[in-house]
Amino acid sequence: MHRYFIALLAATLISLFGLYFQPSFAETLEEFRVPRSSKELLQRCKSIDPNKREYCQGYIDGTSHSWRITTACQSTNDSDQSFCAGSIAAREKFQNLSQTCKDCDFERYKQLYREGSRLIGKCSPNDLVNSSYCEGFNLQVTMETIAPGLIYEPEAMDNARVRGLGQGIGDFVLHLWGFEVMHYLSPCIERRAESESMILAINAFADNYPELLQLDSPTIFLTKALFYGLCPRPMEHLLPHMEHCTDWNYNSGDLGVDNSCEEIVSIQFQADIGPIIEGQLRPKERFRTGLSSRNYMTAACQQGYVSSVPFLKENWGAIARSQYHCVRE
């Protein structure tokens, strides 16, 4: 699976940044890269300007499409595996097509892009491939043509939704390194879900965690919002951890944590040697451990919640990397 991610990363980065074929693209790239903050993206979603709303919906689609393929390729479900196989088959076809034009000039690449979708074709279910396979194949074809389209067809930049879709896909690829350790946040996105149906979950998450709008990139923020908004678990009400507003630091050599959250936070702490310490921390309050240890693990949740990963030394790695949710005590 890592080989798939690496290949996807390389192929997409070549598409996005292979702009040496068109030296004047620098100015267009600057426009292509906005917005750079989660707050700005959500402002576009709520804007009265239809172009800004279209951009937002495109960006969400780009992120969710990328997650659909990623989670399907990590799943053991037969339908998901077929979806993944279709996606990989389409990607390999585009890679083979690009190999036929290694030394082409810009105009030839442009022509190849224009003919790409027609040459690759569209998948329809038959005796050899099922509908899930074709869904993955056709979605990958769409994703493979969006970024080059913005490069080779400048007029495509005038389509706000297409521009947002390309940016969402590109940003996802650039964050793949982070998603390697964010597998526990894979969103539960239905393959046929539309961006409009996701915006409610995203806005609700933004209302509950406005500070994350300032801290997280749009891709990371959408990933969290879609996970906590679309992955209901009746037996355990999951919440994100509160590490974004709990700062562990040293004061005169004494290890402690400051609560900059606007609510009471439940803290769990354990040094490499010593017992587990638990406590409640009020806003603007500091908890002092009385220790100077540089080797420790911590978890921070809303009051009444604890780490979803048992707070034990055998889980030190996952908790230290913040790979946990918060569940009711």
pLDDT, mean of residues 200-216: 83
Choose among 111, 42, 60, 55: nearest CA to 219. 60
Given a cut of 60, is residue 14 above it in pLDDT? no
pLDDT digits (tens, 9 = 90+) for 230-255: 776 644 578 899 998 999 999 888 89
Q: Which contacts qualify for 229-233: CB closer than 8 Å, 24 or more apart? A: 229/198, 229/200, 229/201, 229/202, 229/204, 229/205, 230/187, 230/188, 230/189, 230/198, 230/201, 231/187, 231/188
Question: Are the CB atoms for 287 and 278 separated by under 8 Å?
Answer: no
Q: 235 in a domain, yes or no?
A: no
154 lies in some domain: yes
pLDDT > 50? residue 187: yes
Q: Is the pLDDT of residue 32 over 50?
A: no
**Boundary residue ending a domain (186, 208, 230):** 230
pLDDT band at 137 (very low <50, low <70, confident <90, very high): very high
- pLDDT above 70: percentage of residues in the chain: 79
CATH number of the domain enclosing 324: 2.60.40
Q: Give me the mean pLDDT over the 140-158 stretch.
A: 71
Q: Is residue 44 part of a domain?
A: yes
Of 174, 198, 230, the one marking the end of a domain is: 230
* 215, 297: one domain: no
Domain membership of residue 193 (yes or no) is yes
Note whether 95 and 137 are same-domain residues.
yes
- Say what the pLDDT of residue 179 is: 57
Residue that finishes a domain, picked among 183, 204, 230: 230
| Whether 281 and 200 share a structural domain | no
Return d(Cα 277, Cα 3) in angstroms, integer. 42
Q: How far apart are CA 284 and CA 27, in angstroms?
A: 45
Say what the pLDDT of residue 31 is: 44
Question: Are 184 and 294 members of one domain?
Answer: no
Burial class (CB within 10 angstroms; exposed 0-12, middle 13-18, buried 19+) of 227: buried
* Residue 148 predicted with pLDDT over 90: no
Whether residues 137 and 32 share a domain: the answer is yes
Higher-pLDDT residue of 155, 325: 325
Residue 175 sits in the same domain as residue 247: no
Q: Is 20 inside a domain boundary?
A: yes
pLDDT digits (tens, 9 = 90+) for 47-89: 888 888 888 888 888 888 888 888 888 888 899 899 999 999 9
> Are residues 291 and 202 part of one domain?
no
Taking only the tens place, the pLDDT of each residue in 92-122 is 988 888 788 777 777 777 777 777 777 888 8
| C-beta separation of 117 from 145 below 8 A | yes
- 15 and 164, same domain (yes or no): yes
Does 55 lie in the same domain as 164?
yes
In terms of domains, do 225 and 248 share one?
Answer: no
Position 93 in a domain: yes
Q: Where are the alpha helices (DSSP H) in 35-159?
A: 38-45, 50-74, 78-99, 106-120, 131-152
Which domain does 291 fall in, by range? 243-328
For residues 73 and 217, state if they share a domain: yes
The verdict on residue 204 lying in a domain is yes
Segment 269-287 shows an average pLDDT of: 89
Enumerate the β-bridge partners of residue 268.
278, 299
Q: Is residue 237 assigned to a domain?
A: no
Query: Are 272 and 300 in a shared domain?
Result: yes
- Domains contained in the chain, number: 2
User: Is pLDDT of 12 > 50?
Assistant: no
